[in-house]
């Protein structure tokens, strides 16, 4: 696995080293994870996603992607949370945040159903125009309101454009193998379906068809993703503290948390990693934020946010530490040229690359923040591509399982997500929620 972890700006805040007790705790947590003896052990199927058992499914994903590439100029991906963020993060990470606007042979990809905004939904309808398109609707439960509403809208558009029979050939449903409204609808209408495995929760599902199909449509080879993810899982589940950076990451974040640092800020100097930060926030926030425990995961885009959040990071409440993700080499390089007039007084940087300047900005930031009382860690990747995206996800997922067990929570459930849903169902008038609707009405809500 081609990822490195540098703790030198964090260790001084935990006494200079990670103590033996913490190391042992991390190893015990890893053992709980890999032996499936902890809470939530029916949701650890993601550890085995790359063991080759799903070869047939991977071939089906490639075939579907090829068909979509052949008959569509755009793919509309409908999903929310774990059924959205992995594909979105991967697309941006690998191709940059302007995938839809760069010249390419593959279809544009639009994400909807990750909210209920009419304007955002209409924008996508406008951008589709009269182009040929397909839909990949993703919902493990098959009952989530936001994607269900979006699917009704885009299914309607497809049926109007192509007729019901042709439309059905352009709809790909990724859902539970047996349960849920979406599965029932797919069976009746004859959509091509892909399965979200029972033992893989949403936020751990990017390397199931949930993420593999949209990324394959963009031209990313599922075999490359799975192989790199599998290598990362192997490396991150080795019971060797000095060699396993997932153990080290889990240990240092728990050490900092116990020392009063209750906010972890994901920080990257590449805008293409913005959605990796969003994916990471869901992974750690949903896995650890329960029973009144957990680090609050936040994120910043640098250097941009140094001009907005920089003041707080440098001098605000000392409750946070930062996790920097550094990309060593840019995919394309730009040199700062010598200017004969030097009216902008920038010739001192002439001959240097923009990546060098970015790295110097990062070195300046990590040092200033450490001096200001903000511990920071750096995760380094050689370059942005499919392999490093999958490796980074594998590292973060394994570390999340270990870290959650160290914290003493079940990292694989999300009971707190249900609370708003119950109220929303009542307010939207869903059958079966009359009593709750009345209760809310008595409180003046709705
Ligand atoms: O991680 C999770 O379990 C959640 O974020 C879900 O992915 C999200 O709520 C969407 O659920 P579903 O795929 O059932 O529509």
Per-residue model confidence as pLDDT tens for the chain (446 residues): 789 999 999 999 999 999 999 999 999 999 999 999 999 999 999 999 999 889 999 999 999 999 999 999 999 999 999 999 999 999 999 999 999 999 999 999 999 999 999 999 999 999 999 999 999 999 999 889 999 999 999 999 999 999 999 999 999 999 999 988 999 999 999 999 999 999 999 999 999 999 999 999 999 999 999 999 999 999 999 999 999 999 999 999 999 999 999 999 999 999 999 999 999 999 999 999 999 999 999 999 999 999 999 999 999 999 999 999 999 999 999 999 999 999 999 999 999 999 999 999 999 999 999 999 999 999 999 999 999 999 999 999 999 999 999 999 999 999 888 888 889 999 999 999 999 999 999 999 98
How far apart are the C-alpha atoms of 391 and 389, rounded to whole Å? 5
CB-ligand 1 contact for 277 (6 Å cutoff): no
Catalytic residue check, 359: no
What's the pTM? 0.96
User: Which listed residue (55, 66, 104, 421) is catalytic?
Assistant: 421
CA 172 – ligand 1 centroid, Å? 18
Sheet with 133-139: strands ordered across: 108-112, 74-78, 133-139, 171-175, 192-195
Q: Tell me the best of 42, 140, 180, 211 to mutate to test the pocket of ligand 1, counting ligand atoms within 8 Å of each CB and taking the most.
A: 140
Q: What is the mean pLDDT of the chain?
A: 96
How far apart are the C-alpha atoms of 180 and 407, rounded to whole Å? 33
222-257, pLDDT tens digit by residue? 999 999 999 999 999 999 999 999 999 999 999 999
On whether the CB atoms of residues 92 and 272 are closer than 8 A, the answer is: yes
User: Bridge-partner residues for 23, per DSSP?
Assistant: none
**Tokens at 349, concatenated:** 């940087």
**Tokens at 90, concatenated:** 């991967």
On whether the CB atoms of residues 278 and 370 are closer than 8 A, the answer is: no
Atom of ligand 1 nearest to the CA of 147: 15
Which candidate, 396, 311, 387, places its Cα nearest to that of 85? 396
Contacts of 208 (CB under 8 A, 6+ apart): 49, 174, 194, 195, 196, 197, 200
How far apart are the C-alpha atoms of 103 and 97, rounded to whole Å? 13
Catalytic residue check, 421: yes
- Virtual torsion, Cα 36, 41, 43, 45, nearest 10 deg: 10
Q: Collapsing DSSP states into helix, strand and coil, what is residue 196?
A: coil
CB-ligand 1 contact for 183 (6 Å cutoff): no
User: Bridge-partner residues for 76, per DSSP?
Assistant: 110, 135
CA 284 – ligand 1 centroid, Å? 14
Which candidate, 64, 90, 88, places its Cα nearest to that of 78? 88
User: Which listed residue (146, 286, 288, 387) is catalytic?
Assistant: 286
Give the C-alpha distances (Å, rounded to integers) separating 93 from 90, 153, 207: 5, 29, 15
CA 386 to chain centre: 14
Catalytic residue check, 55: no
On whether the CB atoms of residues 245 and 380 are closer than 8 A, the answer is: no
Contacts of 162 (CB under 8 A, 6+ apart): 170
pLDDT number for residue 281: 98
pLDDT number for residue 357: 97
């Amino acid at each position: 696995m081609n990822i490195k972890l540098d703790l030198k700006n964090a260790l001084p805040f935990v006494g200079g080293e990670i103590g033996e007790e913490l190391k042992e705790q991390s190893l015990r947590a890893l053992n709980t994870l890999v032996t499936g003896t902890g809470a939530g052990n029916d949701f650890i199927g993601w550890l085995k996603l790359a063991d080759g058992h799903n070869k047939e499914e991977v071939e089906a994903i490639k075939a579907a992607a090829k068909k979509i590439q052949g008959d569509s100029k755009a793919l509309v991906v409908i999903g929310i949370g774990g059924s959205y963020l992995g594909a979105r993060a991967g697309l941006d990470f690998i191709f940059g945040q302007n995938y839809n606007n760069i010249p390419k042979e593959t279809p544009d990809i639009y994400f909807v159903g990750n909210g209920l905004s009419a304007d955002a939904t209409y924008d996508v309808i406008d951008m589709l125009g009269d182009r040929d398109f397909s839909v990949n609707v993703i919902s493990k439960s098959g009952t989530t309101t936001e994607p269900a509403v979006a699917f009704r809208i885009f299914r309607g558009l497809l049926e109007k454009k192509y007729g019901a029979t042709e439309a059905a050939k352009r709809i790909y449903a990724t859902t539970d193998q047996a349960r849920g409204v979406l599965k029932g609808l797919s069976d009746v209408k004859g959509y091509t379906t892909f399965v979200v495995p029972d033992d893989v929760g949403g936020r751990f599902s990017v390397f199931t068809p949930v993420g593999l199909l949209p990324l394959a449509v963009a031209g990313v080879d599922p075999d490359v993703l799975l192989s790199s993810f599998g290598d990362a899982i192997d490396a991150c589940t080795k019971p060797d503290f000095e060699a396993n950076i997932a153990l080290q990451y889990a240990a240092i974040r728990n050490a900092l948390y116990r020392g009063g640092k209750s906010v972890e800020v994901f920080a990257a100097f590449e805008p293409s990693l913005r959605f990796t930060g969003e994916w990471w926030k869901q992974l750690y926030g949903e896995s650890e934020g329960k029973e009144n425990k957990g680090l609050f995961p936040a994120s910043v885009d640098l250097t941009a946010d140094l001009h907005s959040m920089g003041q707080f990071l440098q001098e605000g409440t000392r409750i946070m530490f930062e996790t920097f993700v550094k990309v060593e080499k840019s995919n394309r390089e730009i040199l700062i040229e010598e200017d004969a007039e030097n009216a902008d007084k920038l010739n001192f940087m002439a001959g240097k690359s923009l990546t060098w300047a970015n790295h110097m900005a990062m070195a300046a930031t990590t040092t200033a923040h450490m001096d200001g009382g903000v511990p920071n860690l750096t995760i380094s990747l050689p370059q942005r591509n499919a392999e490093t995206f999958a490796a980074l996800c594998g590292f973060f997922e394994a570390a999340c399982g270990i870290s959650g067990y160290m914290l003493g929570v079940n990292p694989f459930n999300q009971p707190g997500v249900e609370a708003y849903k119950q109220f929303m169902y009542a307010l939207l008038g869903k059958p079966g929620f009359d009593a709750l609707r009345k209760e809310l009405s008595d409180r003046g809500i709705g």
